[in-house]
Chains A and B, each alone.
Chain A
Amino acid sequence: MDNSARHAYVLNVMAEDRPGIVALVSREVVYAGGNIESCSQTVLSGYFTLIMVVCFPEPLAMEDFIVKLTGASESEHGLQIMIRPQRRTPEPIDLKDAENFVVSCFGPDTAGVICRFSALLADKGINIVDLYGQLRGDQFVLISQVQIPRRWDLAMLQADIEQLGRELGFTVRLQHENIFIATNQLRLTRTVNPIHATDQK
């Protein structure tokens, strides 16, 4: 698609999961003359959610599009739609400035666990790029993939996160993503150079 005529929108769809939702949404995008540039979907506890960036050659009448997408009756498809113009394409965080880590937390389910951990991460400018949480029996498993700015001392950060874990009765670990890449994927691990702040001793 010609970038000079790029009118990009972020489209978010949520529904009870069933076959055909992606077909339905993408068909309406094509009818409206749009092109899907990127998309991601997931299903959690029987609920489907889809986020996509869609480009149109002309500005889109968003209300009309939502009406078309949900059909004459919203209840028929059971789709909840949100759409908004995309302001800009954010630059991904440069991995010269940050490194990818995995934070994993296991412990007794209590309200406010994600809130406490995410607040600690947010406080340090650590971006969560992927989050998974699931109740298994009375144990809650929380796994987040995060980008940690290189300015942080890893050992200190681990101590902070583990301390919070102890307060909540959780076992918490902060590990560099390379160990997960090495044990699961055929790609090479990213060489860590220059080394992390904590390693510069």
Chain B
Amino acid sequence: MLRTDEILSTMQMLHAEHLDVRTVTLGLNLDDCAGPDVDLICRKIRQKISRYAQGLVPACDRLAGRYGVPITNKRLAISSAAVLLAGHGTQAAVEIAHALDVAAGEAGVDLVGGFTAFCEKGMTSADATLIDSLPMVLSKTQRVCASVNVASRRAGINMDAVGRMGRSLLEIAAATASNHGFGCAKLLVYSNIPQDNPFMAGASLGAGEAEAVINVGVSGPGVVCSGLRRRIETGDKLTLGDLAEEIKITAFRVTRVGELIGREVAQELKVPFGIVDLSLAPTPAIGDSVGEILRILGIDNIGAPGSTAAVALLTDAVKKGGAFASSSVGGLSGAFIPVSEDSVLADAAARGHLVLEKLEAMTSVCSVGLDMIAVPGDTPAETLAAIIADEMAIGVVNNKTTGVRLIPVPGGKVGDIVEFGGLFGSAPIMEIRNSGASSRFVNFGGRIPAPIQSLNN
């Protein structure tokens, strides 16, 4: 039997603190759709997605009703589209992306990830085709999301690919200039890309995964904020250890919700359950903010000294609580600090408290990286590439996933506020100091060798 206080506390989380399941993502392998005939590839893609995904949204809706838990996003993550592009050109890439877009729409999902190339060590012609097609793909489709892995712990950093992504960002921004370069919001540049990330824009189904699998991303910054506030309001003398404990308990509860929903969706769709991603994913909604958690932890201006330590505390507590709640933890699993998607972070950036360099430092202790950051549209490609290279280095050396989602806003100047809409939020254009001063470094190209795995200081 449940106790009344347990029921009331869950009701509080669900209905006052906006606990939801942020995403249920169906991973689907499309390798068997490859072939020499583009029309046939597209037909197969639509048939396969329809076969596996048509039940996704109804199943999520039924379970959301059964448990009274909103499932905010239902999404698809396909195996690397580069496999489908082998032997084809950019026109085929655009047609395939269009087929994915249509199939995702028919399945009722808002985004489909997996337009992905793995080029941490080298680049195949299919990878090059995929990257070349990104400006067209991300401007002509609505739902397709792309990612490019340019670095890994084992391979080091492919600086040729990094340089290419710097140029690609400017091309994508230009192709979506009427929308403030929004195409770049659908592209993540990775180091150590996970096989099973359910969160967009970087979701894809990696090698070693099943034919189809359900992965779940939980949410909960709002719940963590409320839990911390309640604990502080008790008036007890608290240490950071006590606050970490509170976050841990909340993360446990949140993760159990994700696990419950994920397993039951998987059971209904008759596909395996993959992982719960423990990441605290903020939204622009007031209160649903990782920045707000940092403020409650005592950082008055996000970006002030102490911000990195506070994020480290938060990320670790979330992982500890989540790891006990689920035996199937995966994906990115940390705390996201996407600037435009988190109103408190966006505000800190607008006030000049939070600068790019501090964000970079914070990403060394949390997932996923420099995320949803608007920068001036006239930033040189080499500088964008150098920012990517810095973030990749943090991932490669620290053996963790990092990503970069920069949006060079065409015509945008430092301080302009850019509105991306919906969950993507709005953000000020941030200053890049020393812009243009790392071109020679990037233009050397080649590969930064993989780091030594001993002598770990």
Contacts and interface: CB of A to CB of B under 8 A. Distances in A.
B264 A104 contact: no
B66 interface: yes
A143 interface: yes
Size bracket, chain A contacts:
20 to 34
B313 to A, nearest CB: 23
A176 B7 contact: no
Given A175-B68, A184-B2, A195-B268, A143 B257 contact: no
Contacts of A189: 260
Contacts of A199: 62, 66, 268
Contacts of B267: 193
Contact of A178 (B1, B6, B260, B268): B260
Contacts of B9: 183-184
A182 interface: yes
B419 to A, nearest CB: 33
Interface in A118-159: 129-130, 132, 141, 143, 145, 154-155, 158
Chain B contact residues: helix, strand, loop or mixed = helix
A158 B65 CA distance: 9
A30 B13 CA distance: 46
A79 interface: no
A198 B62 contact: yes
A180 interface: yes
A181 interface: yes
Size bracket, chain B contacts:
20 to 34
A173 interface: yes
Contact of A145 (B1, B256, B259, B260): B1
A102 to B, nearest CB: 6
Contacts of B65: 154-155, 158
A179 B6 contact: no
Given A183-B13, A184-B9, A173 B2 contact: no
A192 interface: yes
B10 interface: yes
Contacts of B66: 154, 175-176, 196, 198-199
Q: Interface centre among B3, B11, B14, by most A CB within 10 Å?
A: B11
Interface string B1-37: 1111011111101110000000000000000000000
A39 B135 CA distance: 71
B74 to A, nearest CB: 17
Given A154-B65, A181-B2, A104 B11 contact: yes
B10 A183 contact: yes
Given A184-B2, A184-B6, A199-B268, A178 B62 contact: no
B67 A178 contact: yes
B58 interface: yes
A175 B9 CA distance: 14
Contacts of B354: none
Contact of B4 (A129, A143, A158, A178): A143
Interface in A92-111: 102, 104
A195 B4 CA distance: 26
A155 B66 CA distance: 8
A201 interface: yes
Nearest to A184: B6
B264 to A, nearest CB: 7
A73 to B, nearest CB: 36
A45 interface: no
Contacts of B11: 104, 173
Interface in B191-236: none
Nearest to B68: A175
A198 B66 CA distance: 9
Contact of B1 (A104, A129, A192): A129
B67 A176 contact: yes
Interface string B49-91: 0000000001000100111110000000000000000000000
Nearest to A179: B67
B253 interface: yes
Nearest to B325: A182
Interface string B263-304: 010011000000000000000000000000000000000000
B7 A201 contact: no
A196 to B, nearest CB: 7
Given A181-B2, A183-B13, A143 B7 contact: yes
B70 to A, nearest CB: 12
Contacts of A143: 4, 7-8
A181 B69 CA distance: 14
Given A130-B1, A180-B10, A198-B62, A173 B260 contact: no
Contacts of B13: 183
Interface in A26-64: none
A185 interface: yes
Given A104-B11, A180-B2, A182-B256, A192 B264 contact: yes
A177 interface: yes
A178 B4 CA distance: 15
A173 B7 contact: no
A183 B62 contact: no
A130 B6 CA distance: 14
Contacts of A102: 2, 7
Contact of B68 (A130, A179, A184): A179
Contacts of A141: 8
Contacts of B259: 182
6 contacts: A102-B7, A176-B67, A179-B14, A183-B253, A184-B3, A198-B62
Interface of A: 102, 104, 129-130, 132, 141, 143, 145, 154-155, 158, 173-185, 189, 192-193, 195-196, 198-199, 201
Which 8 pairs across A and B sit closest by C-beta, in order of nearness? A184-B6, A182-B256, A175-B68, A179-B67, A183-B253, A132-B4, A183-B10, A182-B260
